[in-house]
Amino acid sequence: MLAKLWVIKIGGNIIDHPEGLSRFLERFSYLKGNKILVHGGGKIATRIAADLGVEAKLVDGRRITDEAMLRIVTMVYAGLTNKQLVAKLQSHKCNAIGLSGADGNAIRAVKRPVKEIDYGLVGDILPNSVDAEAIATLLDHGFVPVFSAITHDGHGQLLNTNADTIAAALAVALSDRYTTSLVYCFEKPGVLRDINDEASVIPQIRAGEFEQLRSSGIIADGMVPKLHNAFEAIAKGVAEVCIGHADDVLLLREQQFGTRMIR
């Protein structure tokens, strides 16, 4: 029987709130067994860019990453934010190690092709781009990898890469070695049947139900690509994908955490 692995992603809505972040990190540290934390950058990079006179450019909520912005997001994501998370986890006796995709050649990516929009120095992850053996070696030696949203192309170029995508790629790549659960933590208790009612959590969604929920408008907007990626990860070997509130992360063990997507 394969050992259990949790790949847990937190976004800016957690990172930007110190009290909520501290609660999450403490509870994450209590989660037993193999685990990986993946994080985005929050609003810190945008604030620092403004201080430095660098304009933050967004199209449909997605950051355009030119050379100036890449320097900033690398400093913030792979530097300040990553090391703050690692230090706080160490204070909870959680032996975290901070990484970007370039460290140990852990995650390669390719620059996103220019189509209708030129996203600049943004990376897309291809199949077989994750060095699962190297990451498994860290896990098997008791380390907790903490990945920032920065990858590289293997030719010396760093790339800004979506943290949701990084988490899914890690979960898929390691699913041959572990029984892997991919977990997206955010500010809601799960996927809601009624967006205005936080008690309306849908506890479980199967692949066949996803299209029905989307066509009826229950699942819409930003939740659509998240669930699409979730079921794609499951199709590629991930045991389950969970979406729920960061404060509830310890409920993963009791299978009472948010919404579960399963085969």
Enumerate the known binding-site residues.
41-42, 63, 160
Q: Give dist(CA 39, CA 85) in Å, integer.
A: 9
Measured distance CA(258)–CA(93) in Å, rounded: 27
Phi, psi for residue 63 in degrees, rounded to 5: -75, 135
d(CA 57, CA 119): 10
Are 170 and 163 in contact by the 8 Å Cβ rule? The answer is no
DSSP state of 126: P
Q: Could you identify the residue written with the tokens 């994450």?
A: 28
DSSP 56: P
Burial class (CB in 10 A: 0-12, 13-18, 19+), 28: buried
**Which segments are annotated as binding site for substrate?**
41-42, 63, 160
